[in-house]
Structure 1
Amino acid sequence: MRTVPALLVSTALLASLAACAPLGASADCEPVIPAGESPTYVEVEGEVFEAPEVSFPTPLRTNGAERAVLVEGEGEPIAAGQVVDFQVSLYSGVDGTLITQSAYDTAANPLRRTAGSDMDILAEVVQCAEVGSRLAATGTIADVFGEGTLDPALGLADDDSVVLVLDVEAAYLGKATGLPQLGAQGVPAVVTAPDGRPGITIPNQDAPTELIDHVLTLGDGAEITAGDRVVMHYTGVIWDSETVFDSSWERGAPATFPAVSFLEQQDGIVPGLAEAIVGKTVGSQVVVVIPPELGYPEGQAPATIPAGSTMVFVVDILGIEDRG
């Protein structure tokens, strides 16, 4: 047996925001960022999910990172480990100017974090909020980005105060959460780390010549239909060489793809993978073995995938994105 080890102001500022999984919180959800006085001075006009008009007294003094709920959303509080999409505007607490903000456009990708992770204040602020919430958070540049992480040319000191206004668009699973299923002969075996990252064992045999998909964990969420925009974590491995050629886990955030072949739609996915995930349910983990004829056409594969390769994908289906 062969085993593969378990394994996305200024442009600079927005890139820092953009760079930066059990489901079901209770009413006792404990926010990482506590409620505090400073964010209660932030006044916001405009609809949630639209670019806000923000005012507050300046200079705004902060007492560490604090947050306030300006508009309460609906549903269950977001638990640590869930994947959260949001829009955010960042203001100088010194003079109130807008430093940077996300697109506030349903046609553009939102910002994404794993709730409760220690990546930055954004990941921490969203924990225990509900989808549809508008939050205000205050802190320093160091609280938001970390000490010494920004280009000095931006003219922002680590101890300068900032104000964030954040709209929570959507929340998804952080990893597959369904019921474990029995394995199948000749199919790669998968063992997952506590955070959901898969370790993949390739059988010591010739690669299958037909498409194989096997549900490893059966979720009880919505069923994927053709064309759905599927939020997924995945790892892709070459059968023969055991090489990992792509992994959303390594990039630190799940990807979103339409459940359709790239032969039919430009932003689609590998034909065999599109065929395999349609009909599967949110919360499931699926292993998919894709023969060359259902992979990349000749001459179109990425450099990391040799021609004629059989590919193996392990996919956690985390949710269905709604851009309506």
Structure 2
Amino acid sequence: MRRRSLLIAVPAGLVTIAGCGDDKKDSSKASDSASPSPSASATSAAPPPKIVDGPVPAITAGTKFDEKPTVAKGSGDPSKNLAVKTVIAGSGRAVAEGDYIQANYLGQIWSTAKVFDNSYDRNAPLVLQLAQGSIIDGWRYGLAGRKVGSRVEMAIPPTWGYGTQGNAQAGIKGTDTLVFVIDIQDAFNAKSSAKGKTVAQDDADLPKVGTNTDGKAPSIEVPKADAPTKLVSNYVLEGDGAPVKADQTVLVQFKGVVWDSGKEFESTYTRKQLSSFSLTQMQQLVKGLAEGLEGKKVGSRVLLVMPPKLGYGDNPPTGGAIKKDSTLVFSVDILAAM
């Protein structure tokens, strides 16, 4: 099983389409794995911290962006405020609270320099939302306003970390100040789009998907033809990222319509909220999504056409556009995978 980060405050919210009826209804949510939930203080509304620029320990090796750092032990007493220092200034867009970020990071304890977690060794950057309940508050407050391409170092007191309960699984006591070095690789929000290379859509019997990359919903033109009886999974825009693996969670923009009517039944563009889901869980919910996205490259827009047996079959969500034995059509932008 893919190892989850220890710094996540609660199990990450998994937005699925399993219970969708129409655009006005919220998607059902489930957790994608048993992540540690450190303490009530990590998810409660702690007062916003005062942000200061130090002290933070020296980075003694691995000083380049996206290189695993070595960080010295903290010297003296740490600040009781949230200490945040931009070590390398990036030139990308500024991150805002509510955005998703993709980042490599290393976390250690101020007083001992003991490393309790890092993504560099796993070769698996973390993708998470800077939102209350999704990540410890030190990250949520400390990374807001920092730019993509930046390396940020933080010293986080317990109030904005794991609280007085600490995190026993990670060996963190309730009195420990935490030190993080974070390399912000990318950021995503409701206006994000795939940016891949346009791929020809020459099959007149398949839907044609718009290729706009302005963050707006692409058009989906369904032909007046019989729906395919097998799963279709074709690039519309082909990205240059790694292929999605069966055990990963993906962050996506998507739009879904019904083949027969062309009616939209759900869309992240309409909700103005990105979705993330585990391909493993999606196998049990909407199998065509899992099968159609596996192997596709991150950064791509994918056309999916799924016959009823790979969608909802004879058991569709109630009250929406999807009827019994509906063939479904999706445009899916794969923004990130973890």
TM range (shorter): 0.5 to 0.7
How far residue 135 of structure 1 moved from its aligned partner, in angstroms, is 0.9
Separation in structure 1 between the aligned mates of residue 307 and residue 163 of structure 2, nearest angstrom:
45
Structure 1 residue runs without a partner (length 5+):
21-31, 187-206, 214-221, 263-267, 297-307
How far residue 52 of structure 1 moved from its aligned partner, in angstroms, is 0.7
1:233 and 2:252 correspond: yes
How far residue 229 of structure 1 moved from its aligned partner, in angstroms, is 4.6
132 and 180 in structure 1: CA distance in 2 versus 1, 3 angstrom threshold: closer
* Conserved 8 A contact 1:75-1:131: yes
* Conserved 8 A contact 2:98-2:129: yes
How far residue 90 of structure 1 moved from its aligned partner, in angstroms, is 1.4
Separation in structure 1 between the aligned mates of residue 126 and residue 148 of structure 2, nearest angstrom:
14
209 and 97 in structure 1: CA distance in 2 versus 1, 3 angstrom threshold: closer
1:223 and 2:237 correspond: yes
Q: Secondary structure of 2:87's match?
A: strand
Q: Which residue of structure 2 aligns with residue 270 of structure 1? A: 291
Q: TM-score scaled to structure 2, two decimals?
A: 0.51
Q: Secondary structure of 1:170's match?
A: strand
53 and 269 in structure 1: CA distance in 2 versus 1, 3 angstrom threshold: same
Separation in structure 2 between the aligned mates of residue 98 and residue 148 of structure 1, nearest angstrom:
19
1:168 and 2:184 correspond: yes
Separation in structure 2 between the aligned mates of residue 59 and residue 274 of structure 1, nearest angstrom:
50
95 and 313 in structure 1: CA distance in 2 versus 1, 3 angstrom threshold: farther
Q: Which residue of structure 2 aligns with residue 3 of structure 1? A: 21
Q: Which residue of structure 2 aligns with residue 140 of structure 1? A: 157
Q: Secondary structure of 1:254's match?
A: strand
Which of 129, 139, 150 is equivalent to 1:122?
139
Which of 59, 80, 89 is equivalent to 1:63?
80
* Conserved 8 A contact 1:78-1:130: yes
96 and 227 in structure 1: CA distance in 2 versus 1, 3 angstrom threshold: closer
| Correspondence list, 1:91-102, <5 A | 91-102=108-119
Q: Which residue of structure 1 aligns with residue 99 of structure 2? A: 82
Which range moved further: 155-164 or 35-44? 35-44
| Aligned length in residues | 238
* Conserved 8 A contact 2:102-2:184: yes
Amino acid at match of 2:146: A
Separation in structure 1 between the aligned mates of residue 86 and residue 119 of structure 2, nearest angstrom:
19
Amino acid at match of 1:270: E
* Conserved 8 A contact 2:158-2:166: no
95 and 59 in structure 1: CA distance in 2 versus 1, 3 angstrom threshold: farther
How far residue 148 of structure 1 moved from its aligned partner, in angstroms, is 2.9
Q: TM-score scaled to structure 1, two decimals?
A: 0.53
Structure 2 residue runs without a partner (length 5+):
1-19, 43-47, 193-213, 245-249, 259-264, 284-288, 312-323
Amino acid at match of 1:83: Y
Amino acid at match of 1:165: V
